[in-house]
Amino acid sequence: MIIAIDGPAASGKGTLARNLARHFGLPHLDTGLLYRATARSLMDTGRALSDKEAAIAAARALAPAGFDENLLRGREMAEAASVVAAIPEVRAALVELQRSFARGPGGAVLDGRDIGTVICPEAWPKIFVTASVDVRATRRALELESQGEKADYAGVLEEIVRRDERDKNRATAPLIAARDAIVLDTTALDAESAFQAALAIVMSYAARAGVANGRG
């Protein structure tokens, strides 16, 4: 079973994907970390994020594990990841790595922006997680504050709007819900409520496909 979770920044897709992976005993890949790690590699070696050749080389050198997530979180890395993710050759370099992870024994849960449309179009179920931009900005500001970063709401809102535009309008793998994805709006949901709603979607798919109940 491959569960694809897509959606914009701060929609809650990462937390949701981790909770589903834990529930079903499946490996989880936050594909955004791959782009953050690519950007981090460039920054650590003094390369510009727009250096296409260096970005491609960094992406090709990645493995889907062993990241120091503390170095990849935060406002700066989110923006940097969005820049390198807009480079088509970087996305191409990471496609097979993500597909190999997804097709491991028993399946996996992957979250990102193009899982259901590009990486694993065969995945089921596909859930596109969204929320109002105001709620997403509030969530991101609170997250940054919990990490010890200063986060003014207006600045965070501006960054999210800019990132949404970049993700939706990039030439390769733009952010869009797959035609057969179920849209889950988490604007009014906390993490537990969002998990229960997503679990109901997964179990509905599983019942129709005759898959045994997941582990709780």
Q: Concatenate the DSSP letters of all residues of 36-83 into one string.
A: HHHHHHHHHTT--TT-HHHHHHHHHT--SS---HHHH-SHHHHHHHHH
210 has pLDDT over 90: no
How sure is the predictor about 69, in pLDDT bands with cuts at 50, 70 and 90?
confident
State the virtual CA torsion across 179, 182, 187, 189 in degrees, nearest 10: -170
Query: For the residues 164-180, what does the mean pLDDT come to?
Result: 93
Residue-level pLDDT at 216: 41
pLDDT per residue as tens digits for the range 86-112: 999 999 999 999 999 999 999 999 999
Q: How confident is the model at residue 63 (pLDDT cuts 50, 70, 90)?
A: confident
Average of per-residue pLDDT values in the chain: 92
pLDDT tens track for 130-170 = 999 999 999 999 988 988 888 899 999 999 999 999 999 98
Please check whether residue 93 is in contact with residue 72, taking contact to mean a CB–CB distance below 8 angstroms: no
Predicted confidence band at 211 (pLDDT cuts at 50, 70, 90)?
low
Of 65-74, 114-123, 126-135, 192-201, which range is least confident? 65-74
Q: If pLDDT is split at 50, 70 and 90, which confidence band does 215 have?
A: very low
Q: Quick one: tokens of 138?
A: 């509030």
Tell me: pLDDT of 13 over 50: yes
- Please determine, for residue 212, whether its predicted confidence score (pLDDT) is greater than 60: no
Among the listed ranges 54-58, 67-71, 193-197, which one has the minimum average pLDDT value? Answer: 67-71
| pLDDT-derived band at 214, boundaries 50, 70, 90 | very low
Amino acid 113: pLDDT: 94
User: CATH number of the domain at 2-203, please?
Assistant: 3.40.50.300
The stretch 53-81 carries a mean pLDDT of 88
Greatest Cα-to-Cα distance within the chain, rounded to the nearest angstrom: 52
Neighbouring CB atoms inside 10 A of 60's CB total: 14
Identify the pLDDT of residue 32.
92
pLDDT over threshold 50, residue 60: yes
